[in-house]
Amino acid sequence: MTNKNAVYPGSYDPLTNGHIDIIERGLRIFEKITVAVLKNPQKKYLFDLEERLEILNHTFKNNPKIEVDCFEGLLVDYLNKKEITTVVRGLRAISDFEVEFQMALMNRRISPDVETIFLVPSVNYSFLSSRLVKEIYQLGGEIRQMVPELVDRKLKEKYRL
Ligand code: ADP
């Protein structure tokens, strides 16, 4: 199977310009990228699934090369269902490496066809995370160049800024 399509899985709670940077880089390699939002009932999110999907759908509505979807359970089962074998993940710092390495090897163990491709973001976003964005807004700050306009608006609504 050729790697025309790839899945970029994540929480996207919320989408940041770092994620967008990785998607744009991914589209230089793949014809289509499916941004797949993880539904994890164990995890507490600031934005519920509908909101996370709404943000992604709104942001990528004009790009037919980007599909927005969600999944529950094992990533490899989702990949199987989609008949896609390539996973894209972003690598920011050494701190990402251990977790990502473990996850890539575990996915390969469960499903040997799966390959994980790591893309490195622009240095501008190499320190950026959804968690950090939420913390900054929660404390009354804003970082406009780091998130799409809709995310900025929604974060301000959530924290009544
Ligand atoms: P997860 O909970 O699966 O880590 P995230 O939404 O936080 O979900 O991240 C999804 C993917 O995007 C991960 O591979 C993560 O390393 C990557 N990522 C997140 N923020 C950035 C960023 N600023 N630059 C590059 N990659 C990023």
Q: Which atom of ligand 1 is nearest to the CA of 130?
A: 7
Q: Are 102 and 131 in contact (CB under 8 A)?
A: no
3-class secondary structure for the chain? CCCCEEEEEECCCCCCHHHHHHHHHHCCCCCEEEEEEEECCCCCCCCCHHHHHHHHHHHCCCCCCEEEEEEECCHHHHHHHHCCCEEEEECCCHHHHHHHHHHHHHHHHHCCCCEEEEECCCHHHCCCCHHHHHHHHHCCCCCHHHCCHHHHHHHHHHCCC
pLDDT digits (tens, 9 = 90+) for 30-51: 999 999 999 999 999 999 999 9
Both tokens of 23, joined, read: 């998607």
Annotated catalytic residue 154: no
Cα 45 to middle of ligand 1, angstroms: 15
Does 1 score more than 70 pLDDT?
Answer: no
pLDDT in tens, 68-116: 999 999 999 999 999 999 999 999 988 899 999 999 999 999 999 999 9
> Ligand 1 centroid to 123 CA: how many Å?
14
Mutate to test the pocket of ligand 1, among 19, 21, 38, 95 (most ligand atoms within 8 A of CB): 19
Give the model's pLDDT for residue 144.
85
Average pLDDT over residues 123-146: 94
Neighbours of 153 (CB within 10 A): 11
The predicted model scores a pTM of 0.96
Closest residue by Cα to atom 9, ligand 1, is: 10
Pairing mode of beta strands 86-90, 32-39:
unpaired
Distance 159 CA to ligand 1 centre (A): 23
Q: Across-strand partners of 35?
A: 8, 68
